[in-house]
Copies of this chain bind each other. A is one copy, B any other.
């Protein structure tokens, strides 16, 4: 994993790239504070994680941060050797540990302010920041109906096919049906857990989680091995909402956890969407209630979702990244492949590979990155520049001018 600390890639809070002390301090604080702990978040933002940890050790964290009694108890019990071992697991890439300031840190999370995660543990192949640049949360009831799971699979498939990353919670019901749909389309999906990324929860989803890790990423702010709790599920929802440009709710009873994700999405100025169902179904009642609120939008299909969230750079609080910036991050080989993609008509991978002067495997891998970035689309087996990319430019502009933007 390469890291760089150019101003462009740092978060709103101007975190520098995390050094080893900082990383160890953030990992340790992750054992001490619960997810979403605003007091801890404020102290770390003001003083830095290393100083907060040493102040805690000396029992000198200023009163204005109202240190919880639990901090002291947990600090006494913390297993430093275990934390060291977990961090060592990142060297083999079995796990990753991503801190604010790292190139993989999704800066959208900075919108959470003091409730921003201290750091994220990851398992999987996707680069989390890139994957979440164009991402949508899909959430819903665990006790879903056949209608709900059908819609979830269909929406997941459609978004995967369109190169959108789907973020969800890998729970039973809507979450799993959605993420299976994405995987079936060969798309990218991210599971945010309320337990350690190496914990299979729910137990019945061990195989699903393994596939998500293979094709996407599993994310948690909790340390490896941590068990889920009710409070951790609720705080997990804020991460799902913050990572994405919008949240879709498919089936939710009136007081459902899925609606808490929608509430976070609204509070974070993400687009809140819902899929309606029969008004006779209690499983759709929460969604209909949501859709009766001014800010929520009704969606029937993946195309509807993309229509709403698809404006590049929009709603990516706090730091919108326009298409130019995304292009700036491309290496020379990926840029060559992008330039080789036929504009409106599209072409298959062999056409692109030949034009770019690379082999088909290389072209496919580069196209995969470009798909995640939303610069190209794959429609019926053909690759082409994404419509949004072409549409965003004035019609008189040439391809070369577009690419030089």
- Give the chain B neighbours of A291 by CB distance below 8 A: 276, 291, 298
State how many angstroms separate the Cβ of A283 from the closest Cβ of chain B: 12
Residues of B within 8 A of A150 (CB): 280
Q: How many chain copies does the complex carry?
A: 2
Smallest beta-carbon distance A278→chain B, Å: 6
Contact A285 B298 (CB under 8 A): no
A232 at the interface (CB under 8 A from B): no
* A292 at interface by CB-CB < 8 Å: yes
Cα–Cα, bound, A96→B394 (Å): 62
Bound-state CA distance A311–B280 (Å) is 27
Query: Does A245 touch B at the CB level, under 8 Å?
Result: no
* A260 is an interface residue with CB less than 8 A from chain B: no
Contact with B along A273-312 (1 / 0, CB 8 A): 0011111100011001001100001111100100000000
Chain A interface extent, by class: 20 to 34
B277, B285, B301: the one contacting A278 at CB < 8 Å is B277
Q: Which of B151, B284, B292 contacts A297 (CB 8 A)?
A: B292
A245–B300 CA distance with the chains assembled, in angstroms: 28
Q: Which chain B positions have C-beta within 8 A of A297?
A: 292
Set of chain B residues within 8 Å of A301, measured between Cβ atoms:
279
User: Residue among A150, A297, A298, A304 with the most chain B CB within 10 A?
Assistant: A298
Asked if A65 lies at the interface with its beta carbon under 8 angstroms from chain B, I say no
Q: Tell me the complex Cα distance, A364–B284, Å.
A: 40
Name the CB-closest residue of B to A285.
B300
Q: Which residues of B contact A298 (CB under 8 A)?
A: 276, 288, 291-292, 298
A231, chain B: closest CB distance, angstroms? 32
**Which residues of chain B are within 8 angstroms of A285 by Cβ–Cβ distance?**
300
Inter-chain CA distance A151–B304, complex, in Å, is: 26
A301 to B280, CA, bound (A): 10
Output the least CB separation between A310 and chain B (Å).
Answer: 15
- Distance of A336 from chain B, by nearest CB (Å): 40
How far is the CB of A201 from the nearest CB of chain B, in Å?
Answer: 30
CB distance from A97 to the nearest CB of B (A): 41
Chain B residue with the shortest CB-CB distance to A292? B298
Contact B279–A300 (Cβ < 8 Å) = yes
Contact B278 A147 (CB under 8 A): yes
User: CB-nearest residue of chain B relative to A304?
Assistant: B292
Chain B residues closer than 8 Å to A292, beta-carbon distance: 297-299, 304
Give min CB distance, A274 to chain B, whole Å.
9
Set of chain B residues within 8 Å of A279, measured between Cβ atoms? 151, 275-277, 300-301
A275, A292, A300, most chain B CB atoms within 10 A: A300
B304 touches A147 (CB 8 A): no
Query: In the complex the two chains form, what is the Cα distance from A304 to B285 in whole Å?
Result: 13
Of the candidates B147, B151, B277, B304, the one whose C-beta lies within 8 Å of that of A276 is B277
A285 CB to closest chain B CB, in angstroms?
7
> What 10 new A-B contacts, CB under 8 Å, besides A288-B298, A298-B298?
A147-B278, A147-B280, A150-B280, A151-B280, A275-B279, A276-B291, A278-B278, A279-B301, A285-B300, A288-B300
**Which residues of A come within 8 Å of B, CB atoms?**
147, 150-151, 275-280, 284-285, 288, 291-292, 297-301, 304
User: 12 pairs across A/B with beta carbons < 8 Å?
Assistant: A147-B278, A147-B280, A276-B277, A276-B288, A278-B278, A279-B301, A285-B300, A288-B298, A291-B291, A291-B298, A292-B299, A298-B298
